């Protein structure tokens, strides 16, 4: 039986101010002639705030900045400059976008598939910085990175089954994930190969990290099978990481396990109290505080 621990929800001192609870930076969204995506990073930011972190900086392409503030006025929005094509202009330096004043980062929600995404993920892998979640389109970008995979910061990879298959091809690994034993083995092998914490999402989500026991989430519900559920989970991980980093110590794998558990319990709570279907990802995010309070009380 696994002895992998789940981090406790971070303390909230009575005299604390918002920066005592950590700042997370979420990088995502895209705009262009064919389509724009803003919902994913906004959902991630909403979940990060619901986790209790003190501040969220949402970095999206400049043309989307005002819309992001309308959707979620509680965040600070940093508009990333874009070229006439709609692609992000990265000439000003990625470190000024992602890592400044951040205790954690989430990279990938709604980022789109482009050279921009590849460059941003390459920057994250190649520079020191706070613990960073690479999610969604960031996972796709990771498959295009051709240099040796030697991350310079702590990374959490959050593939679903399809994304895992692409990563498996990138690293010459088996893409078999049909049963729980195969899922556990797949997460372990990818974690060892990349030296990252790996969250393999799905029914019975698995968290593996080098040197730690592999953990399978015992909770969950099919109400989680909705658009944006993964974005909520990525933002929740980022928010909890920021709070723990601000405390001065952070077991990234244990915090990831906490986030997965909270996400699953929030889905179960919605199913038990509302309905068996039709949950919106924003409603899932809004269940997070009560689940965390329940963990503290128990």
Residue 1 in domain: no
Residue 94: band (very low, low, confident or very high) from pLDDT cuts 50, 70, 90: confident
Q: Are strands 206-208 and 197-200 parallel, antiparallel or unpaired?
A: antiparallel
Per DSSP, 210 falls in state T
- Whether 99 and 80 have beta carbons less than 8 Å apart is answered as no
Count CB-CB contacts under 10 A for residue 162. 11
Residue 8 in domain: no
- Our count of domains for the chain comes to 1
Residue 5 in domain: no
Residue 10 in domain: no
Determine the average pLDDT of the residues in 99-124. Answer: 90
In a 13 Å sphere around the CA of 89, the CA atoms on its Cβ side amount to 11
Look at the pTM and tell me if it is higher than 0.85: yes
- Residue 44 CB partners (closer than 8 Å, separation 6+): 26, 28, 106, 109, 135, 231, 232, 234, 235, 238
Residue 111 in domain: yes
CA 186 and chain centroid, separation: 20
Look at residue 118 and tell me whether its pLDDT is greater than 70. yes
Residue 194: band (very low, low, confident or very high) from pLDDT cuts 50, 70, 90: very high
Determine the average pLDDT of the residues in 208-215. Answer: 97
Q: What is the pLDDT of residues 75-84, one digit of tens each?
A: 999 999 888 8
Residue 14 in domain: no
Lowest-confidence pick of 137-146, 262-271, 278-287: 137-146
Residue 1: band (very low, low, confident or very high) from pLDDT cuts 50, 70, 90: very low
pLDDT for the residue numbered 43? 98
Residue 165 in domain: yes
**What separation, in Å, do the N-terminal and C-terminal C-alpha atoms of the chain show?**
23
Which residue in the block uniquely carries the two structure tokens 């968290």? Answer: 207
Residue 175: band (very low, low, confident or very high) from pLDDT cuts 50, 70, 90: confident
pLDDT for the residue numbered 130? 95
Residue 148 in domain: yes
Look at residue 62 and tell me whether its pLDDT is greater than 80. yes
Q: Are strands 155-157 and 132-134 parallel, antiparallel or unpaired?
A: parallel
Look at residue 35 and tell me whether its pLDDT is greater than 60. yes
The tokens for 123 are: 């920057």
- Whether 291 and 265 have beta carbons less than 8 Å apart is answered as yes
Report the run of H or E that residue 57 belongs to, with start and end: strand 55-61
- Domain interval for residue 186: 20-297
Which CATH number goes with the domain that contains 217?
3.40.1190.20
Instruction: Please say whether the dihedral angle defined by the alpha carbons of residues 78, 84, 86 and 92, taken in this order, is positive or negative.
Output: negative
Closest to 51 measured CA to CA, from 270, 206, 263: 263
Look at residue 88 and tell me whether its pLDDT is greater than 50. yes
pLDDT for the residue numbered 75? 97
Determine the average pLDDT of the residues in 87-107. Answer: 82
Look at residue 124 and tell me whether its pLDDT is greater than 50. yes
Lowest-confidence pick of 151-160, 166-175, 213-222: 166-175
In a 13 Å sphere around the CA of 126, the CA atoms on its Cβ side amount to 13
């Amino acid at each position: 039986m696994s002895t992998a621990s789940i981090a406790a929800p971070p303390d909230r001192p009575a005299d604390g101010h918002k920066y005592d609870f950590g700042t997370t930076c979420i990088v995502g969204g895209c705009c262009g002639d064919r389509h724009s995506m803003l919902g994913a990073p906004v959902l991630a930011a909403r979940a990060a705030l619901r986790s209790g972190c003190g501040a969220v900086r949402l970095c999206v392409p400049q043309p989307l900045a005002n819309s992001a503030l309308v959707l979620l006025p509680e965040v600070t929005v940093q508009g990333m400059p874009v070229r006439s094509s709609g692609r992000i202009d990265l000439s000003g330096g990625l470190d000024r976008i992602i890592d400044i004043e951040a205790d954690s980062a989430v990279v990938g929600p709604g980022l789109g598939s482009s050279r921009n995404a590849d460059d941003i993920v390459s920057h994250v892998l190649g520079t020191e910085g706070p613990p960073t979640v690479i999610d969604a389109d960031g996972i796709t970008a990771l498959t295009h990175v051709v240099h040796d995979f030697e991350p310079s910061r702590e990374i959490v990879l959050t593939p679903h089954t399809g994304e895992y298959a692409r990563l498996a091809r990138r690293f010459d690994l088996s893409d078999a994930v049909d049963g729980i034993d195969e899922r556990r083995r797949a997460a372990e092998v990818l974690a060892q190969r990349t030296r990252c914490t790996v969250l393999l999402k799905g029914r019975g989500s698995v968290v593996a990290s080098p040197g730690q026991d592999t953990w399978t989430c015992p909770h969950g519900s099919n109400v989680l099978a909705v658009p944006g559920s993964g974005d909520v989970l990525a933002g929740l991980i980022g928010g909890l990481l920021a709070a723990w980093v601000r405390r001065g110590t952070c077991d990234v794998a244990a915090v990831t396990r906490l986030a997965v558990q909270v996400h699953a319990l929030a889905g179960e709570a919605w199913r038990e109290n509302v309905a068996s279907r039709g949950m919106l990802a924003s409603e899932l995010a809004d269940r997070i505080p009560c689940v965390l309070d329940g963990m503290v009380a128990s």
